[in-house]
Amino acid sequence: MTGSPRRTLVATALALLAAVAPLTSLAGAAPGAPAAAADAPAQLDLATSRAQWIDKNTVAWDVQGDASSQELVYARDGRLTLKDGELAGEGRRIRLAPADGGLTEAQRKKYPHLKDYAAFTVDPRDRDRIRHALTGQVVATRSGADGTLLAATGVQTQGILDDLYSATATKAALGPQFRDGRPTLALWAPTAQSVSLELDGKRVAMRRDDASGVWSVAGGRSWSGQQYRYVVKVWAPSVQKVVTNKVTDPYSTALTADSRRSIAVDLDDPRLAPKGWERLKKPKATPLRDAQIQELHIRDFSVEDRTARHPGQYLAFTDKASDGMKHLRKLAKSGTSYVHLLPAFDIGTIPERAADQAAPDCDLTAPGPDSEEQQACVTKTAAKDAYNWGYDPLHYTVPEGSYASDPAGTRRTVEFRQMVQGLNGSGLRTVMDVVYNHTVASGQADKSVLDKIVPGYYQRLLPDGTVATSTCCANTAPENAMMGKLVVDSLVTWAKEYKVDGFRFDLMGHHPKANILAVRKALDALTVGKDGVDGKKIVLYGEGWNFGEIADDARFVQATQKNMAGTGIATFSDRGRDAVRGGGPFDEDPGVQGFASGLFTDPNASKANGTPAEQKARLLHYQDLLKVALTGNLSAYTFTDSAGKRVKGSEVDYNGAPAGYAAAPGDALSYADAHDNESLYDALAFKLPADTTAAERSRMQVLAMATATLAQGPSLSQAGSDLLRSKSLDRNSYDSGDWFNALQWNCRAGNGFGRGLPPAADNKDKWPYGKPLLTSTSLTPGCAEINGTSAAYQDLVKLRATEPAFSLTTTARVQSHLTFPLSGTPAETPGVITMQLGNLMVIFNATPEPQKQSVTLPKGATYSLHPTQAKGADEVVKSASYERGSDTFDVPARSVAVFERD
């Protein structure tokens, strides 16, 4: 503190007086006090929240310079305002003192993004006011010695709320809890001034537990099945006033149509269990490292399947005779183990009643294959139609209503369970795509739930107090104890009550690693005897991307690719995907080629690919990336790269990051395409030379998928990719309706290509590239190509599932069993990867010509084409051969051949 002793005494006296009296103004110079320093910046903005109350002792604030006093001012009525540079309104004070040395080491570790903030200690005499202060508006102020207000801002309170309440609140049972048919409803709302229950139109008082901040009320049997909402009176920083919100239960287990009311439902009620539910027999669990996964959207699956009796619904998976279910059973028989369902929780962007859903009002089949008309018509109704991928969570633990035969009430519960039964009965386990990293809305928006109950807590806030939106929506903050608890509680409910066999986390890197490990621990505790499921057999994987306000562990140790290695929870690996396709998802020119799209060996006309020498160099580097991917993206695996240098997987460059990051097979999930970005067929449409025939495109599709299928660790394929699925070049079809998204199970209906130019919003810059392709006959496959692709893919899945060499359990075993014998030698062929795996020799020939690969083998070794391929559906690959005298493998063009040592 600077200034004369007199100035300090005056300021201290003013602070003591203010601490015990209501305020009408904090500003106003003391008589005879000198003016504030001329260079002191005025930071007066109550609409922002730049101070952070991190625990009961400490406020962190990004301020510099000295001030004579710091205070928290709070007002239950929320009427503190700034007027003429002064703080006006009736409020109470909590005194603060600068903390010598700033935040403690422990605080910096917990809040690394605040490490350079100034720290202020709450006066011990005022700590009894904290809980009351948190139920209203809180403002942080700094004043000069003359009383001039130097800074005033709102206060973020998520840290102090966790410090005060989480130890008890995290143990609380929230939402509807039933005992002997009688429900108790509980809501965590520690900052609320009051909470009551609106039950079937009537208000019921709720009781607050001061230790946990949980409000609860017990009801009678008559409450079962009743509609309810909570009425929460609370300070809302987003609108700068105290509001009374009528809001659904974030722990809802059932909802009315369009999520307008929660319904008090006991998920253990026998009436909600379909026949055979308690005795449901699941397919044998496949370990994650061996998982072969089909990624599937519920509506896509059946909405255009004329053989389905329940198009677009959960019940379509009970239609055993439909083309879609027949195809899934074929995949299961070949070795596919899981169906990964795109989000199926309550979605905020689809009208749930069919009568409220819009549909395109034009004949979409009339315009030409390269017309703009289809996308224009689809776009007009996109916001109100029945379609969305579903990454718009409204309620996390209730099935989406638009997929049910009746969205009102519990039909969605019963029919979701029937869907799980249908998939399990077809030999497939069920994975749910879950989206806990953001909500569909925040603040006082109509579809905001969490933020209306505890404003500023469940959403992740930026330094100024605004909600972070790096996920393209309102980010949540699972680093906060009660959001982390919600994630765990929700997933346990899906596992126990819906018998879901796995979870895929959207943008998992936006979660703390600790949160995902807490999920794993909670699931592992589930047992068949106690809970009806074996939680240890539930698989977990997610997107470990590193970006946004939490990138590089800025706020916590993230659940990213590198950090999740060794946990048994897999992350998607983009290394192999980009190498096999070429370029990246956001290239200005979509013609950038890769290993399976003709780079160097079958060049297209795009100048973005560079000179032949540049293409060759990039192709060989892509081959190194694929070699690492084939090991399971292992960090410590060593091999000779294409330049002849001995390297670890972690030393191979992927856009400035290590290509290899996994500690063991199963840490990385391989894929060539998923719902994001162009489908594999459409990517190859952009990248392969325009005159590539449909038959050749089919072969390149199989080759590209094989790089993921035949890798160590799990692999995922977008449903329909084995049928050459196209979305008419749409790179982001999340809201493109059935026209661009629906799966075609019958080859006579085509593969979806040529349905017009894709929607302008995300694709118009690529229209000049796409327009000539959409009319090309070589890009319109027939039944021979569609069915042939699927049959060849199924052979590879079967081969992968039945050969133990593809299921190595440790880095050491991969190191000793898997080699690339020609890598880095003069015999390495651009466009060809030769992989020796135990008694197998796997050769990926991505070139348009047959290739011979001569390998030094032990004396007397002989090989022949693997029986699965020799007796399989791909007639071309059957010509692959081994010449014993020269140890040469002869592989046809655009083929992957697997040879077995005799």
Locate 264 and state its tokens: 């008090």
Locate 202 and state its tokens: 């009537």
| Residue that is written with structure tokens 């703390």 in the block | 512
700 has a pLDDT exceeding 80: yes
Residue 532 CA, distance from chain mean position = 27
Residue 57 three-state SS: coil
pTM of the predicted model as reported, rounded to 2 decimal places: 0.94
pLDDT tens sequence across 712-736:
999 999 999 999 999 999 999 999 9
Give the model's pLDDT for residue 357. Answer: 98
| Residue that is written with structure tokens 């992740």 in the block | 460
pLDDT tens sequence across 494-510:
999 999 999 999 999 99
Percentage of the chain exceeding pLDDT 70: 95
**Annotation says 305 is catalytic:** no
Asked if 253 contacts 399 with a C-beta cutoff of 8 angstroms, the reply is no
Give the model's pLDDT for residue 200. Answer: 85
pLDDT tens sequence across 135-168:
999 999 999 999 999 999 999 999 999 999 999 9
User: Who's near 637: CB < 8 A, 6+ residues apart?
Assistant: 628, 631, 648, 649, 660, 811, 814, 815, 818
Q: Which of 162, 249, 451, 543 is labelled catalytic?
A: 543
Locate 221 and state its tokens: 């049997």
Asked if 483 contacts 556 with a C-beta cutoff of 8 angstroms, the reply is no
23 has a pLDDT exceeding 50: no
pLDDT tens sequence across 873-892:
999 999 999 999 999 999 99
Residue 546 three-state SS: coil
Percentage of the chain exceeding pLDDT 90: 94
Q: Which of 415, 398, 172, 392 is nearest to 263 (CA)?
A: 398
Asked if 459 contacts 451 with a C-beta cutoff of 8 angstroms, the reply is yes
Give the model's pLDDT for residue 39. Answer: 35
In whole angstroms, give the CA distance from residue 405 to residue 401.
8
CA atoms within 13 A on the CB side of 512: 19
Place 814 in a pLDDT band, splitting at 50, 70 and 90: very high
pLDDT tens sequence across 116-140:
999 999 999 999 999 999 999 999 9
User: What average pLDDT does the segment 414-436 reach?
Assistant: 98
**Angle, vertex CA 532, rays to CA 529 and CA 534, nearest 5:** 85
In whole angstroms, give the CA distance from residue 43 to residue 142.
9
Give the model's pLDDT for residue 422. Answer: 98
Residue 321 three-state SS: coil
In whole angstroms, give the CA distance from residue 235 to residue 252.
23
pLDDT tens sequence across 338-359:
999 999 999 999 999 999 999 9
Place 580 in a pLDDT band, splitting at 50, 70 and 90: very high
Asked if 269 contacts 289 with a C-beta cutoff of 8 angstroms, the reply is no
Q: Which of 172, 139, 135 is nearest to 51 (CA)?
A: 139
In whole angstroms, give the CA distance from residue 173 to residue 212.
11
Q: Which of 249, 479, 506, 828 is labelled catalytic?
A: 506
Give the model's pLDDT for residue 17. Answer: 32
Asked if 693 contacts 275 with a C-beta cutoff of 8 angstroms, the reply is no
Handedness of CA 786, 790, 796, 799 (dihedral sign): negative
Residue 579 CA, distance from chain mean position = 23
Give the model's pLDDT for residue 560. Answer: 98
**Annotation says 415 is catalytic:** no
22 has a pLDDT exceeding 90: no
Q: Which of 576, 587, 669 is nearest to 623 (CA)?
A: 576
In angstroms, what CA-CA distances link 560 with 516, 553, 592, 668, 708?
11, 9, 27, 11, 20
